[in-house]
Amino acid sequence: MARRPFVAGNWKMNGTLTDARELMAGLRNAVEPGMPVDVAVCTPFTLLYPMGKELDGTDIKLGAQNCYFEKKGAFTGEISPGMLSAANCTYVIIGHSERRYVLGETGDLLRAKVKSCLEEGLSVIYCVGELLDERDAGKTTDVVGRQLAESLSDDLDHARLTIAYEPVWAIGTGRTATPDQAQEVHAFIRERMGGLFGADAGAAMRIQYGGSVKPGNAAELMACPDVDGALVGGASLVAEDFAGIIRAAAATA
């Protein structure tokens, strides 16, 4: 099954409007018309409205990095799925390991977030991935399987769901999973998604790899049969690097 590659930049807590405009100046032409790849940048909340304008007329879509599950009300400091839609977001990242391990988000909370965002019409990038001691203990698939099972259910609109496999030990460390390590977990995720949503849906679902993806390693990772693109942190803040990763993804299509 041919899946269209998908590259998303996760800017994390980086960037003022000045930085973002500078980055966009370098990125504006990174996706040439007709390039066989979907591209998004997931910016801090404060940049969503201006970045929506900056991205107008480009083939780069806008995404957020988090969202609350309630529609509105007394939830100080939170942002709702409807607010993201109103700010022209197409995508939202849910369950990033920094939300799980730095901010303490649980599987139950993430389940509510995924459901609410999909119901709003957003496309969700749901992140999973094991810690280094979990990998060393041979528990990678147990952990990833649990993260999938506890936050995804068969009633979800899976057509707008992407899974991102981000081994926590590879995030921001310069240490990438080998293509074989990535492929093994991606194949496992696809099988689980097939079990949950049906074989066709599993075969159609895009699974991104994330964790120290750079222009130099993107091609070999994305050459793996079950790796359909990348969720990129640090390298997405450097226009030439992000553009290189986009080109590597498009070349696999």
Active-site positions read 96, 166
Beta bridge partners of 9: 41, 232
By DSSP bridging, strand 60-64 and strand 91-94 are parallel
What gap in Å lies between CA 39 and CA 229, rounded to an integer?
10
Q: What is the CA radius of gyration of the chain?
A: 17
- Say if residues 230 and 222 touch (Cβ distance below 8 Å): yes
Q: Is 213 in the site for ligand 13P (CB under 6 A)?
A: yes
By DSSP bridging, strand 207-210 and strand 123-128 are unpaired
Q: Which stretch binds ligand 13P (CB under 6 A): 20-28, 33-41, 66-74, 231-239?
A: 231-239
Single-letter amino acid, residue 198: G
- Of positions 231, 243, 249, 250, contacts ligand 13P by CB under 6 A: 231
Stretch 109-148: interaction string toward ligand 13P, x if CB under 6 A: ----------------------------------------
What gap in Å lies between CA 185 and CA 189, rounded to an integer?
6
Applying CB under 6 A, what is the total number of residues that bind ligand 13P? 14
Q: Is 172 in the site for ligand 13P (CB under 6 A)?
A: yes
Taking the complex as a whole, the smallest distance from the CB of residue 34 to ligand 13P amounts, in Å, to: 27
Taking the complex as a whole, the smallest distance from the CB of residue 210 to ligand 13P amounts, in Å, to: 4
How is the chain split among helix, strand and coil, in percent rounded to 5? Answer: 45, 15, 40
Q: Is 60 in the site for ligand 13P (CB under 6 A)?
A: no
Taking the complex as a whole, the smallest distance from the CB of residue 156 to ligand 13P amounts, in Å, to: 21
Answer positive or negative: Cα dihedral of 52, 239, 25, 39: negative
Q: What is the largest CA-CA distance in the chain?
A: 48
Helix spans in 28-153 (H): 48-55, 81-86, 97-101, 107-120, 132-136, 140-151
Q: Which stretch binds ligand 13P (CB under 6 A): 102-110, 141-149, 191-199, 211-219?
A: 211-219
- Of positions 5, 95, 234, 244, contacts ligand 13P by CB under 6 A: 234
Q: Which stretch binds ligand 13P (CB under 6 A): 45-53, 56-64, 145-153, 164-172?
A: 164-172
Place of tokens 């969720």: 231
Q: Which stretch binds ligand 13P (CB under 6 A): 151-159, 183-191, 220-228, 230-238?
A: 230-238
Instruction: Output 125 or 197, the one with its CB closest to ligand 13P.
Output: 125
Residue 89: helix, strand or coil by DSSP? Answer: coil
Question: Which residues of this protein are in contact with ligand 13P, per CB under 6 A?
Answer: 10, 96, 166, 171-172, 210-213, 231-235
